Amino acid sequence: MTGGSSIGDKNRDVLIYDTTLRDGSQGEGLAFSLEDKIKIAKKLDYLGVSYIEGGWPGSNPKDLEFFVEAQKMEWQHARITAFSSTRKPGVGIEHDSNIKALLQAGVGVAAIFGKAWDFHVLRALETTLEENLNMVRETISYLKDRGLEVLFDAEHFFDGYKNNPQYALKVLETAAAAGADWLILCDTNGGTMPWEIESIIKAVQQISQLPLGIHAHNDSACAVSNSLVAIKQGCCQVQGTINGYGERCGNVDLCAIIPNLELKLGKKALPAGHLKYLSEVSHYIGEVANMPHYNSQPFVGYGAFAHKGGIHVNALLKDALTYEHIDPEAVGNHRRVLVSELSGISNLLYKAKELNLNIDNYDDETRKVIRQIKELESQGLQFEGADASLELFLRKAFGQHDDFFQLKNLKLIIEKNEDDDITAEAVVKLLVGDKVFHTAAEGDGPVNALDNSLRKALTEVYPEIAKMHLSDYKVRVLDGNQGTAARVRVLIESANETNQWSTVGVSENIIEASWQAIVDSINYMLMKRDLS
**d(C-alpha 491, C-alpha 500), whole Å:** 13
Q: Is residue 300 part of a domain?
A: no
Q: Is residue 500 part of a domain?
A: yes
Q: What does the pLDDT read at residue 98? A: 95
Instruction: Assess whether 273 and 315 both reside in one domain.
Output: no
Instruction: Assess whether 311 and 285 both reside in one domain.
Output: no
Instruction: Assess whether 350 and 479 both reside in one domain.
Output: no
Q: What does the pLDDT read at residue 300? A: 96
Instruction: Assess whether 190 and 236 both reside in one domain.
Output: yes
Strand partners, 241: 253
Max alpha carbon distance in the chain (Å)? 89
Q: Is residue 260 part of a domain?
A: yes
Q: Which strands, in side-by-side order, build the sheet including 488-495?
A: 469-477, 488-495, 500-507
Strand 109-115 with 79-85, pairing: parallel
pTM of this structure: 0.74
Give pLDDT tens digits for 502-522: 898 888 888 999 999 999 999
Dihedral of alpha carbons 476, 479, 485, 489, sign: negative
Confidence of residue 214 (pLDDT cuts 50, 70, 90): very high
Q: What does the pLDDT read at residue 292? A: 80
The pLDDT of residue 172 is above 90: yes
Confidence of residue 59 (pLDDT cuts 50, 70, 90): confident
From 235, 284, 290, 288, select the one nearest 257 (Cα to Cα): 235
Instruction: Assess whether 415 and 476 both reside in one domain.
Output: yes
Q: What does the pLDDT read at residue 401? A: 79
Give pLDDT tens digits for 118-135: 999 999 999 999 999 999
Instruction: Assess whether 163 and 312 both reside in one domain.
Output: no
Q: With pLDDT > 70 as the criterion, what percentage of the chain qualifies?
A: 91
Among the listed ranges 42-51, 176-185, 275-284, 487-496, which one has the minimum average pLDDT value?
Answer: 487-496
Confidence of residue 12 (pLDDT cuts 50, 70, 90): very high
Among the listed ranges 43-47, 89-93, 382-386, 473-477, which one has the minimum average pLDDT value?
Answer: 382-386
Q: What does the pLDDT read at residue 7? A: 60
| CATH code assigned at 507 | 3.30.160.270
The pLDDT of residue 1 is above 70: no
Confidence of residue 388 (pLDDT cuts 50, 70, 90): confident
The pLDDT of residue 343 is above 60: no
The pLDDT of residue 436 is above 60: yes
- DSSP character for 404? S
The whole-number average pLDDT for the span 263-273 is 97
More confident residue, 432 or 484: 432
The pLDDT of residue 340 is above 60: no
**d(C-alpha 397, C-alpha 184), whole Å:** 59
Residue where a domain stops, chosen among 289, 324, 352:
289
Residue where a domain stops, chosen among 289, 320, 352:
289
Q: Which amino acid is at 116?
A: A
**d(C-alpha 259, C-alpha 297), whole Å:** 13
The pLDDT of residue 360 is above 80: no
Instruction: Assess whether 367 and 504 both reside in one domain.
Output: no
Q: What does the pLDDT read at residue 315? A: 78
Domain assignment of residue 361, given as a range? 306-378
Mutual orientation of helices 34-47 and 278-289 as an angle, nearest 10°?
170
Q: Is residue 399 part of a domain?
A: no
- For residues 339 and 304, the answer to whether their CB atoms sit within 8 Å is no
Q: What does the pLDDT read at residue 483? A: 60
Q: What does the pLDDT read at residue 469? A: 86
Q: What does the pLDDT read at residue 381? A: 64
Confidence of residue 485 (pLDDT cuts 50, 70, 90): low
Instruction: Assess whether 340 and 482 both reside in one domain.
Output: no
Share the mean pLDDT of the chain. 89
**d(C-alpha 486, C-alpha 510), whole Å:** 10
Q: Is residue 394 part of a domain?
A: no
Q: What does the pLDDT read at residue 203? A: 98
Q: Is residue 256 part of a domain?
A: yes
DSSP 358-397: ---TTSHHHHHHHHHHHHHHHTT--GGG-HHHHHHHHHHH
Instruction: Assess whether 338 and 468 both reside in one domain.
Output: no
Q: What does the pLDDT read at residue 26? A: 94
Confidence of residue 357 (pLDDT cuts 50, 70, 90): confident
| CATH code assigned at 202 | 3.20.20.70
State how many domains the chain has.
3
From 64, 56, 71, 61, select the one nearest 23 (Cα to Cα): 56
Instruction: Assess whether 239 and 337 both reside in one domain.
Output: no
- For residues 174 and 137, the answer to whether their CB atoms sit within 8 Å is yes
Q: Is residue 7 part of a domain?
A: no
Instruction: Assess whether 268 and 311 both reside in one domain.
Output: no
Residue where a domain stops, chosen among 264, 289, 314:
289
Q: Is residue 362 part of a domain?
A: yes
Q: What does the pLDDT read at residue 346? A: 66
Instruction: Assess whether 344 and 450 both reside in one domain.
Output: no
